[in-house]
Each structure stands twice: as structure tokens, then as C-alpha cells.
Amino acid sequence: MSSLCCRPRSPPVKTPLEDDDLLSEILLRLPPQPSSLPRASLVCKRWRILASDRGFFRRFRIHHRRKPPILGIFDQFFPLFLPTLEATNRVQPGRFSVQGGADGRRFRPLGCRHGLVQSYYAST
């Protein structure tokens, strides 16, 4: 005669969002917009810990390295940053300010590659 108390219990089944590995794979596939990870980190403490992990952020950058978003452009003749994204993802122009000196010289953008901007300090 078998009783219920003698049967081995099976481990509780995790739902997909309780499994950290699966959740990190889901978060990894968020679009590479500037607001994606901050918004996901606001869901709960566990999501914030996952989204702010250095290893996860490195994997996120590697996963999206082929199509990073274009944050904006620099005007070649007047050193001004013009954001290209919609309001929720827009980077404020002041974040990429290239102010000139008191001597009348200004930074002039030459080009960009791999997320870096090359400029020179030119006299006007």
C-alpha cells in the first residue's frame, strides 16, 4: 500500500519569467534604443539587477553591434548636434555640446565611425 507522503516530490516548475537565463535572453532581444534597458529595469528589482549587470550589458552590445541606432548628426559647418530619434529616445543636444573657446576657435566635426566622432579645433 502506497501513501502520498512517501512519494518523492518533483521540484516546482518555474514559469518562463522566473528563470533568470530565459529572462536575460528575452531582455537581450529588446531593441537597441537608448530607453529600452532603463524602461525594462523599472519593471521590478529582479529585472533591474539583470538589466544592469555588466555581463548582460556586454552581451546586449554584442548582440546589437551590427545595427546600432543613429542618435543624431553633427552639422559640418556649425558644430551643432541634431537628434534623429523620437522623443522617448532622443538624446538632448546639450549632451553632445562642442563649445568653442574665447579666442574665436571652434570644434569642427570631420566624421564618425564605430560610435566615435573625430573633430578638430579650427580658427574661424
Q: Tell me, what's the pLDDT at 54?
A: 92
**What pTM did the predictor assign?**
0.58
Q: Which pLDDT band, with edges at 50, 70 and 90, does 9 fall under?
A: confident
Inter-axis angle of helices 20-28 and 54-63, nearest 10: 40
Q: Tell me, what's the pLDDT at 119?
A: 75
DSSP-derived secondary structure for 68-83? ----EEE-SSS--EEE
Q: For 57-77, what is each residue's pLDDT tens digit?
A: 899 988 888 777 777 777 766
